[in-house]
Structures are given as structure tokens and as C-alpha cells.
């Protein structure tokens, strides 16, 4: 029988996950279906339970339900536990619902494998300290950067994250104003500012020579942050489309035990985006 998977979100119509997972299933010859499901904002758990009753095997979880998914999971991977968010759920044969987060692995794979950036020994800056950033800190620290700085508009939130992940590597926190005089080799934008076409206040000399920038958002036109990066000397300005596909590949592997190839799917999505 065809196994059922889905992505839950609200809104969800724009989701590219069905297209990505359907392509992975074809490529790896896995018999599964994958759909986008809209859950009411206050009833994620009910929607997910109904999905399980109708032979649902596993799901991806997107905005605004990653916290609800964390609470719904009966068993969490250590990285999901620390991130406090879940983007991948699945039910095992005993009926136990497991939760994991694959966003961070997705980002690191896009940086290190697709973009061929070695993060070891690098000075890395992350802008933002919200849910999106929380999930990527541990995998970035695992690459052993020289330092990882979390800068956020609300400094206390950056401080909390730096404390939470202190045991995993050289992490510190600050506000945007404290960035004056500092230089970084890799800068990742994890703020929601891009969504509104906005940019955190950044010093003009923030980027070290040869620096690469990464916006966790993506769009048809270059994002405001990536435009800023190119205008300030970045040799690369990468958007989050690769992260989206890589986090999906990691979820697919968790569910099916097969690691799909991502390059063709990424190229197809980019082309569709350019033509939209």
C-alpha cells in the first residue's frame, strides 16, 4: 500500500515540500504519496492525529506549528530536544510518535557540500535569535568554527541561545550595535526582517575578505540581505532554497532509510522560481 506523508502549516498552499518529496520518491522508487495539509492555528495536534488515523506515516511541520510538533512528539532526538522545535514527525510500528529537526543539517549541508564552504576555523555570525536560528546552532558548532556569534535586535534572546549551546563550542552573543569593528568570514541571516524587505543595521566593514553570506529566506529576486552582502564585498550570496531541499532530503532519509540526491530537484525549483 502507498504510504502517506504530508506537510502541515498555516498557510500551506505555497509549500514546495510536495513537489520536493514527490521528486525524491520517484528518484528512489519509493511508493509514497505526499500532500500539503492546512491545520487550524489552534488545532495542530487534532489535525495530526486525524492524519495518523487515516494511515499517515510521517509529516513535515512548518510555520506556525514547529513548537506544537515538539509538544506532540512522544520521543525526541537530542538535537530536536535542544532546538525546542520539530520539523519532522513519524510514527513507528509500536505507535510511538517521534520528532526531529532537520533544518540545521539542511543549512550545513547546503553550505559545506553544495557551496563547498569549509566552516572549520571560520568566524561565523548569525543574525537573529528566533525559532529558525535555534535549530541551526548545534550543527554549525559541530563544524568547529573559530567562533559563532549570535547577534539579535533583542539581545537577551541571543544571550539565552548562547548560554543554551555553550557546551557545544565557541558561541557568544551581542546586539547589532556591538558588531562595529568585528569581521566575519560567514554571515547567516536568520531574522524575519527579509520577509518585510527590511535589513538589520549592519556595519559597512562587517565582511572579511572572501566572506560568504547566506540568507535563510529565498525569493525570485535577490533578497535584501544578499544584495547588501554583494554590495559590501561578499564573494558569495546564497539564498535558502538549498537549505529547504536539504532539510527535506534529511527528513526523507529518516522516514525511508534512503538518502535522495538533491541537485536536480534544486535546479528544477530554481527554474520554476525564475519563471514564476
Residues annotated as catalytic (active site), given as ranges: 66
Closest residue to ligand ATR, based on beta-carbon distance: 130
- Minimum CB separation of residue 103 from ligand ATR in Å reads 10
Instruction: Note whether 162 binds ligand ATR by CB under 6 A.
Output: no
Instruction: Note whether 254 binds ligand ATR by CB under 6 A.
Output: no
Residues 197-226 that bind ligand ATR (CB under 6 A): 198, 200
Residues 101-120 that bind ligand ATR (CB under 6 A): none
Stretch of 96-104, 116-124, 149-157, 217-225 contacting ligand ATR, by CB under 6 A: 149-157
- Minimum CB separation of residue 133 from ligand ATR in Å reads 6
- Minimum CB separation of residue 93 from ligand ATR in Å reads 33
Helix (H) / strand (E) containing 60: strand 56-61
Instruction: Note whether 192 binds ligand ATR by CB under 6 A.
Output: yes
CA distance 263 to 8: 25
CA distance 111 to 234: 15
CA distance 44 to 73: 12
Helix (H) / strand (E) containing 189: strand 184-189
Cβ-Cβ contacts under 8 Å for 121 (sequence gap 6 or more): 144, 145, 146
Q: Which of 18, 22, 27, 130 binds ligand ATR (CB under 6 A)?
A: 130
Instruction: Note whether 157 binds ligand ATR by CB under 6 A.
Output: yes
Instruction: Note whether 67 binds ligand ATR by CB under 6 A.
Output: no
Cβ-Cβ contacts under 8 Å for 275 (sequence gap 6 or more): none
Around 165, how many Cα atoms within 13 Å sit in the side-chain half-sphere?
A: 32
Amino acid at each position: 500500500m502507498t504510504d502517506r506523508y504530508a506537510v502541515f502549516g498555516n498557510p500551506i498552499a505555497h509549500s514546495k515540500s510536495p513537489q520536493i518529496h514527490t521528486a525524491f520518491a520517484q528518484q528512489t522508487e519509493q511508493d509514497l504519496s505526499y500532500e500539503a495539509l492546512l491545520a487550524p492555528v489552534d488545532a495542530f495536534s487534532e489535525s495530526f492525529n486525524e492524519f495518523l488515523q487515516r494511515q499517515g506515516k510521517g509529516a513535515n511541520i512548518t510555520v506556525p506549528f514547529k513548537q506544537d510538533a515538539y509538544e506532540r512528539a512522544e520521543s525526541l532526538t537530542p538535537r530536536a530536544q535542544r532546538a525546542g522545535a520539530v520539523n519532522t514527525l513519524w510514527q513507528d510500528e509500536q505507535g510511538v510518535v517521534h520528532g526531529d529537526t532537520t533544518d540545521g543539517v539542511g543549512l550545513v549541508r547546503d553550505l559545506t557540500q553544495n557551496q563547498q564552504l569549509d566552516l572549520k576555523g571560520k568566524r561565523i555570525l548569525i543574525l537573529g535569535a528566533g525559532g529558525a536560528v535555534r535549530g541551526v546552532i548545534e550543527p554549525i558548532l559541530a563544524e568547529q568554527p573559530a567562533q559563532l556569534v549570535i547577534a539579535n535586535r533583542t539581545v537577551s534572546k541571543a544571550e539565552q541561545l548562547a548560554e543554551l549551546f555553550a557546551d557545544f563550542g565557541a558561541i557568544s552573543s551581542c546586539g547589532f550595535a556591538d558588531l562595529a569593528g568585528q569581521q566575519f568570514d560567514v554571515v547567516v541571516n536568520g531574522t524575519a526582517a527579509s520577509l518585510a524587505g527590511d535589513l538589520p543595521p549592519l556595519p559597512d566593514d562587517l565582511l572579511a575578505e572572501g566572506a560568504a553570506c547566506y540568507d535563510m529566506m529565498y525569493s525570485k529576486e535577490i533578497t535584501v540581505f544578499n544584495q547588501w552582502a554583494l554590495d559590501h564585498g561578499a564573494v558569495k550570496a546564497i539564498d535558502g532554497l538549498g537549505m529547504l531541499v536539504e532539510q527535506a532530503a534529511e527528513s526523507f532519509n529518516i522516514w525511508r532509510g534512503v538518502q535522495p540526491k538533491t541537485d536536480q530537484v534544486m535546479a528544477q525549483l530554481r527554474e520554476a522560481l525564475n519563471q514564476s
